[in-house]
Amino acid sequence: MLKPFSQLEEKMEFLNRIIQGDCRQILKALPSQSVDFVLTDPPYLVNYRDRSGRTVKNDGGSADFLSAFSDLYRVMKPNSFCVSFYGWNRVDEFFSAWRTAGFRPVAHIVWQKDYTSSARFVQYRHEQAYVLAKGNPGRPARPLADVQAWEYSGNRSHPTEKAVTILKPVIQAFSKPGAVVLDPFSGSGSTAVAAALCGRRYVGIELEGRYCQLARKRLAGAASYTRKAA
Ligand SMILES: C[S@@+](CC[C@H](N)C(=O)[O-])C[C@H]1O[C@@H](n2cnc3c(N)ncnc32)[C@H](O)[C@@H]1O
């Protein structure tokens, strides 16, 4: 059970932690206007199953979990960004949740794959994310190109793991060193690892205990890497 958020804030207990639970509940315990940047990769609502049968929680059924974006908006600082991956064929549900929360879309990023992940009406070769603004954030000092090269993570820790190398440029463009970066659908912790490697603080929230453990292990590795580099 999380402590009331005044204590959390005082002791900064939520910082640099991977918290297990449903982000709709956990976010309620986080202080308002405490997060500098959100980078997140929610379930795409596509019933994903990989070749070995691995699935993603909440990826198949109702889009109710997208209501988390309203609390995400609340915990973000005024005039800040949220970059959210999404499932392109369920864009209506994502957009509805983002607009209801108060977000304003300001850009769209596409990662181009050099391989076909599946083929049907076309060869599916990209991933995508919206850049959403809370308020009127300033322009990044070095704006990111909205077409990026994709890198395959190998999906070793998680069936839909994002490569840390594709996340780092996003964190560097939309946040400053020392910033608090939140991922409420953190899976195996790729966003948190990327944030740590970029000299940011992180908060990860994930429903599944096994992915929280993996994320903590990866973060311990990243911490020893950043200590060596310092
Ligand atoms: C697309 S995956 C994220 C993968 C992550 N980017 C990585 O690199 O490992 C989405 C994650 O959200 C988690 N999830 C689904 N519903 C959730 C909820 N209500 N609260 C917290 N996590 C949730 C799933 O268990 C899954 O691990």
Q: Of 19, 20, 65, which Cα lies nearest the Cα of 42? A: 65
pLDDT at site 223: 77
Is residue 5 situated within a structural domain?
A: no
Q: 48, 209 in Cβ contact below 8 A?
A: no
Domain hosting 45: range is: 13-229
We report the CATH number of the domain holding residue 138 as: 3.40.50.150
Q: How does pLDDT run across 16-55, given as a tens digit for each residue?
A: 999 999 999 999 999 999 999 999 999 999 999 999 999 9
The response to whether residue 69 sits with its C-beta less than 6 Å from ligand 1 reads: no
The response to whether residue 20 sits with its C-beta less than 6 Å from ligand 1 reads: no
Is residue 66 situated within a structural domain?
A: yes
Sign of the CA dihedral 199, 203, 204, 209? Answer: positive
d(CA 33, CA 27): 12
d(CA 159, CA 76): 28
The response to whether residue 148 sits with its C-beta less than 6 Å from ligand 1 reads: no
Residue 83 structure tokens: 């970059």
Q: Specify the ligand 1 atom closest to the Cα of 65.
A: 19
Residue 19 structure tokens: 């918290």
Counting every residue, how long is the chain?
230
Sign of the CA dihedral 35, 213, 65, 151? Answer: positive
Is residue 92 situated within a structural domain?
A: yes
pLDDT at site 230: 56
Is residue 39 situated within a structural domain?
A: yes
| SS3 readout for 128-194 | EEEEEEECCCCCCCCCCCCEEECCCCCCCCCCCCCCHHHHHHHHHHHCCCCCEEEECCCCCCHHHHH
The response to whether residue 218 sits with its C-beta less than 6 Å from ligand 1 reads: no
Is residue 86 situated within a structural domain?
A: yes
pLDDT at site 2: 55
* Ligand 1 centroid from CA 59, angstroms: 9
Is residue 7 situated within a structural domain?
A: no
Residue 82 structure tokens: 């949220």
Please state the domain count of the chain: 1
Q: Which residue has a Cα nearest atom 19 of ligand 1?
A: 22
The response to whether residue 97 sits with its C-beta less than 6 Å from ligand 1 reads: no
Which residues are CB-contacts of 225 (< 8 A; sequence separation ≥ 6)?
Answer: 197
pLDDT at site 194: 98
* Ligand 1 centroid from CA 121, angstroms: 28
Is residue 132 situated within a structural domain?
A: yes
d(CA 135, CA 220): 35
Q: Could you identify the residue written with the tokens 């900064």? A: 12
Q: 19, 2 in Cβ contact below 8 A?
A: yes
Is residue 8 situated within a structural domain?
A: no
**Tens-of-pLDDT digits for all 230 residues of the chain?**
555 544 445 446 899 999 999 999 999 999 999 999 999 999 999 999 999 999 999 999 899 999 999 999 999 999 999 999 999 999 999 999 999 999 999 999 999 999 999 999 999 999 999 999 999 999 999 999 999 999 999 999 899 999 999 999 999 999 999 999 999 999 999 999 999 999 999 999 999 999 999 999 999 988 776 766 65
